[in-house]
Amino acid sequence: IMKECWHHDPDTRPTFAELSRRLGHIDPGISRVSVAKAQGRSLDEGAGVGSKVLDEVFPPHIAEALRQGKKIEPEHFDCVTIFFSDIVGFTDISGTLLPEEVCDMLDRLYVKLDMLADKYEMFKVETIGDAYMAVTNLLKEQHDHAARVAKFAQEAIVAANSTLVHKDKPELGSINLRVGFHSGPVVANVVGTKNPRYCLFGDTVNTASRMESNSEKNRIHVSDTAAKLVAKQDHTVELIAREKMNIKGKGIMQTYFVKQGEQVTSTIDPEKLRSMMATRQPSSRSLRMASRRASAISGSVVSHSPNMRPSIPSIKSTTSHLNPPSQPTVIDMDDFTES
């Protein structure tokens, strides 16, 4: 900031209003040095931890701007591909498992999806509950951005199907995903000052979300725009046309499924996955608390009604969904209800 104030060109120097905004949140009574000493670490170590967190949450150029206290300006992108997924039957799962068990399930799934996102160089925008959102062609130019998302989606479904709903109760089955994606223009910006978030805005986001909500279990639903890009960027990805349907807020649309063939397998390194999960195990205190809650709930079920805890037959995994029919799926719109 001092160097900016010394700039030889007066027009490039920050205004008093800008200086007030950038310095207003700093408490003059507390320095980074004193905080670091109180925590028994070096100043560089503390700065490194904070910097790493910023780099994980925001794109590199956004993280650097935030470190310098600069105002983030909206950025326009002509064409990105946005991926959405959610867990089939998540409401039933949440009503059956303890909160700690739901968190553990999501963590085990998201660690796998994050590893795949790194492989395909996708930027993970956010997760909200069971919804996972990621994007390509945002941080850098990717000429195959739609095809990347298609392949990522195929592997994501395989990874989810190999993830147990409850790691100690295999009878509950595995996770099933509903997936959709769309390509188009967006505007990206950081919103808010407390817990700021990097968000994407535009109709492309809405359409991608609609593709996901109108998808089916373990199927990848694609808009016509994204399907054309996939076909152009990678001819090995097979597409299956759906019956034209009325998409809420969009009207009648021609959409497609990406075929999930038997040849699709997960490329996640098992050793790396085990290593990552080993560092994320819950504390013994958390496990004891969860165990006590489970015992209390189990006792109340036995003493009152055997049907108090809802069953979740709909979440049990099968293998038939990995081989969808090669013919287009015809949907009777009178019977179709949006998920």
**For residue 100, pLDDT beyond 60:** yes
What percent of the chain is predicted at pLDDT more than 90? Answer: 53
pLDDT at 10: 86
pLDDT at 40: 54
- 227-240: per-residue pLDDT in tens? 999 999 999 999 99
Which has more pLDDT, 260 or 182?
Answer: 182
- 44-96: per-residue pLDDT in tens? 554 555 567 777 788 888 888 888 888 888 999 999 999 999 999 999 999 99
**For residue 322, pLDDT beyond 80:** no
Q: Is the dihedral of CA 268, 142, 83, 191 positive or negative?
A: positive
Which has more pLDDT, 169 or 27?
Answer: 169
Query: What pTM, to 2 d.p., does this model score?
Result: 0.69
Quote the mean pLDDT of the chain: 80
Q: Which of 113-117, 282-286, 298-302 has the highest mean pLDDT?
A: 113-117
DSSP string of 208-263, one letter each residue: HHHHHHT--TT-EEEEHHHHHHHHHH-TTS-EEEPPPEEETTTEEE-EEEE---TT
pLDDT at 4: 85
Q: Angle at CA 80, nearest 5°, toward 227 and 161?
A: 65
Q: Taking residues 163-187, what's their average pLDDT?
A: 96
pLDDT at 295: 53
- 189-226: per-residue pLDDT in tens? 998 878 888 999 999 999 999 999 999 999 999 999 99
Q: Return the CA Rg of the chain.
A: 24
pLDDT at 25: 61
